[in-house]
Amino acid sequence: MRKVKILSTLLAMALLTTSLFSSDLKNLKKRVAVVSFTDKANYGNNIGNGIADMLVTSLVESKKFIVVERSELDKIMQEQGLGMSGAVTPQSAAKIGKLLGVELIITGSVSEFGTKKDRIGGALSKLSGFNLGISSESARCVVDIRLVNTTTGEIIAASSAEGKESSKSLDNVGVSGINFRNSSTWDKTILGKAARKSVKKCVKIIINGMQALPWQGKIIKANADGTVFMKPGSQAGVTAGMSFIVYRPGEELIDPDTGISLGSEEMMIGKIEVISDVAGGKACKAIIKGGSNFMTGDLVRIK
**Residues 133, 266: one domain?**
no
> With bands split at pLDDT 50, 70 and 90, how would you rate the model's confidence at 263?
low
Range among 109-113, 129-133, 134-138 with highest mean pLDDT value: 109-113
Q: At what angle do helices 70-79 and 47-62 cross, to 10 degrees?
A: 130
User: Is pLDDT above 50 for 174?
Assistant: no
> With bands split at pLDDT 50, 70 and 90, how would you rate the model's confidence at 166?
confident
**Residues 80, 206: one domain?**
yes
77 lies in some domain: yes
Cβ contacts of 249 within 8 Å, gap of 6 or more: 264, 266, 297, 298, 299
> With bands split at pLDDT 50, 70 and 90, how would you rate the model's confidence at 123?
very low
88 lies in some domain: yes
Report the b/e string of 149-188 with b at 16+ CB within 10 A: bbbbbbeebebbbebebeeeeeeeeebeebebeeeeebee
Nearest to 196 by CA among 205, 188, 187: 187
Question: For residue range 48-104, what is the model confidence (pLDDT) as tens digits?
Answer: 888 999 999 999 999 999 998 877 887 888 777 765 555 677 777 777 887 888 889
**Residues 48, 181: one domain?**
yes
Helix ranges restricted to H, the chain? 2-26, 47-62, 70-79, 90-100, 122-128, 183-186, 190-210
CA-based max dimension of the chain: 98
Between 72 and 3, the higher pLDDT residue: 72
Which H helix or E strand runs over 104? strand 104-120
13 lies in some domain: no
CA atoms of 291 and 169, how far apart (whole Å):
70
Q: What is the CATH number of the domain that holds 221?
A: 2.40.10.410
Domain carrying residue 127: 26-210
**Residues 257, 170: one domain?**
no
**Residues 224, 164: one domain?**
no
Which H helix or E strand runs over 273? strand 261-278
Q: What percent of the chain has pLDDT over 70?
A: 76
| 177 residue type, one letter | G
State the chain's mean pLDDT as an integer.
80
Which of 181, 210, 239 represents a domain boundary (last residue)?
210
Position 128 scores a pLDDT of 43
Question: For residue range 188-241, what is the model confidence (pLDDT) as tens digits?
Answer: 788 889 999 999 999 999 999 988 888 999 999 999 999 999 999 999 999 999
**Residues 61, 83: one domain?**
yes
Asked if residues 284 and 276 have their Cβ atoms less than 8 Å apart, the reply is yes
Position 277 scores a pLDDT of 96
User: How many Å separate Cα 186 from the centre of its chain?
Assistant: 23
User: Is pLDDT above 50 for 127?
Assistant: no
**Residues 72, 188: one domain?**
yes
Counting Cβ atoms within 10 Å, is residue 265 exposed (0-12), middle (13-18) or buried (19+)? Answer: exposed
Which of 165, 190, 210 represents a domain boundary (last residue)?
210
Which of 210, 243, 269 represents a domain boundary (last residue)?
210
**Residues 144, 34: one domain?**
yes
Q: What is the CATH number of the domain that holds 96?
A: 3.40.50.10610
Position 14 scores a pLDDT of 41
